[in-house]
């Protein structure tokens, strides 16, 4: 009996020892798992935080300035005579055409933050070469032709020489005094033409310019092609009536061309810069700008760029600089003006700007890569690549400089 009791006690003792050992092993194993998990979470936290900080950081202002000056110097060196006509696609074109006018919008923006005499002279000589007159004369209704008037007006603001603005005003007055509002039937025209009216309204104080540009903008947005070029459901624009539904991209989505939407986006901020705070339709422009910003944010690629087709990444997908520049231009301006939330949009701007200055700007000569050539949809102006020179380089450079100057102004 005593033996049996002793055996039971011995067995219990052995079991307790084994249990204790097991508990110790499990405890140590659990600690290891816990420590590994903590280490993993710590590394994940550090990595994520680093990425967030990295994504939100803009380059040093000196780096941004160096990039835009380098790209601009490339263009000025290539085209030393600003009045020289271009010969593209078997046709001679005056240097007052819209592609060059967009470049001068960029140069004027650069001049506001880096007022060098050589920039002023380059703009002055260009205006002189064209007698400060829209392409096609004072009777043109084509926004591509009077896009150059934007820079003429800005030069007048510097010099106060009436001759610089006279023809732009005569041309705009002709349009104001006629009833038709459908001249801007393609959305690119909104950027080419609308800021001219905003600038004239600002300078003269005459409401008629603001009223006319609103009527023309509203026609393009809500009426052109039967129901307008703007789709409020997606916050984006069809390029012209040829791309209204039922037209679809290969993946079944609506066709929203990147640069076309970029033109509208740029036009909105160029208008908002000019019109008074109490202008009747100011809030309408702001509402469209915010809606577009939200839509564009969703379309950004992981590498920071936007595709040429905003809703179909496989339809001539890849990096593209001109549309990306226009979106950076608009978002950076919106942040600076307090219209867009900085925490939300600064990472978008930073990612895109960093990508462009690191991957699109040629370090040897300042040539700008990944610019889609002229056209009206994703398939046009292809191929797009680092070493592919588009048919016109000027507008892509202008868009890039516009973006850079707004990035430079950010705190």
Q: Which residues are catalytic?
A: 188
On the CB side of 174, how many CA atoms lie within 13 Å of its CA? 15
Q: Which two tokens stand for residue 402?
A: 């516009």
Q: What is the DSSP letter of 337?
A: T
What is the C-alpha separation between 411 and 77, in angstroms, rounded? 31
Nearest residue to 408 via CA among 338, 349, 368, 362: 349
Residue 381 phi/psi, 5-degree rounding, is 65, 25
Q: Could you identify the residue written with the tokens 């191929």?
A: 383
Enter the tokens of residue 123. 């703009």
- The CA-based diameter of the chain, rounded to the nearest angstrom, is 125
DSSP labels, 121-159? HHHHHHHHHTTT--TT-TT---HHHHTTHHHHHHHHHHH
Are the C-beta atoms of residues 200 and 206 closer than 8 Å to each other? yes
Residue 15, SS3 per DSSP: helix
Spatial distance between the Cα atoms of 18 and 64, rounded to a whole number of angstroms: 69
Angle at 203 (CA atoms; ends 197, 209), nearest 5 degrees: 30
How far apart are alpha carbons 352 and 359 in whole angstroms?
Answer: 10
Q: Report d(CA 50, CA 64) in Å as an integer.
A: 22
């Amino acid at each position: 009996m005593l033996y049996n009791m002793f055996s039971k006690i011995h067995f219990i003792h052995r079991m307790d020892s084994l249990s204790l050992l097991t508990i110790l092993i499990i405890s140590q194993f659990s600690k290891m798992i816990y420590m590994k998990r903590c280490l993993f979470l710590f590394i994940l936290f550090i990595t994520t935080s680093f990425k967030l900080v990295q994504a939100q950081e803009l380059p040093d202002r000196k780096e941004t300035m160096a990039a835009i000056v380098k790209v601009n110097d490339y263009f000025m060196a290539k085209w030393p005579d600003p009045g020289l006509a271009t010969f593209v696609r078997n046709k001679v074109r005056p240097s007052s055409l819209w592609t060059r006018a967009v470049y001068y919008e960029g140069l004027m923006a650069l001049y506001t933050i880096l007022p060098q005499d050589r920039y002023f002279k380059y703009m002055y000589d260009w205006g002189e070469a064209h007698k400060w007159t829209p392409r096609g004369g004072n009777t043109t209704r084509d926004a591509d032709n009077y896009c150059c008037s934007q820079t003429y007006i800005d030069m007048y603001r510097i010099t106060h020489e009436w001759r610089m603005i006279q023809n732009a005003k005569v041309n705009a007055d002709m349009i104001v005094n006629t009833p038709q509002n459908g001249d801007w039937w393609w959305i690119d025209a909104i950027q080419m033409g609308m800021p001219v009216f905003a600038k004239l309204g600002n300078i003269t104080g005459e409401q008629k310019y603001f009223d006319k540009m609103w009527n023309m903008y509203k026609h393009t947005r809500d009426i052109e092609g039967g129901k307008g070029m703007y789709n409020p459901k997606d916050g984006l624009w069809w390029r012209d009536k040829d791309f209204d539904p039922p037209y679809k991209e290969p993946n079944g989505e609506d066709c929203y061309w990147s640069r076309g939407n970029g033109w509208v986006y740029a036009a909105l901020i160029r208008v908002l810069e000019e019109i008074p705070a109490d202008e009747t339709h100011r809030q309408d422009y702001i509402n469209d700008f915010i809606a577009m910003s939200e839509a564009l944010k969703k379309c950004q690629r992981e590498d920071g760029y936007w595709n040429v087709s905003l809703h179909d990444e496989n339809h001539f997908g890849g990096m593209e600089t001109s549309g990306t520049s226009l979106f950076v231009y608009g978002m950076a301006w919106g942040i600076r003006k307090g219209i867009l939330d900085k925490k939300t949009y600064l990472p978008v701007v930073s990612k895109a700007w960093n990508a462009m200055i690191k991957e699109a700007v040629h370090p040897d000569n300042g040539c700008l890569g990944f610019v889609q050539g002229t056209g009206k949809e994703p398939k046009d102006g292809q191929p797009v690549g680092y070493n592919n020179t588009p048919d016109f380089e000027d507008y892509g450079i202008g868009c890039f400089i516009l973006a850079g100057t707004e990035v430079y102004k950010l705190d």
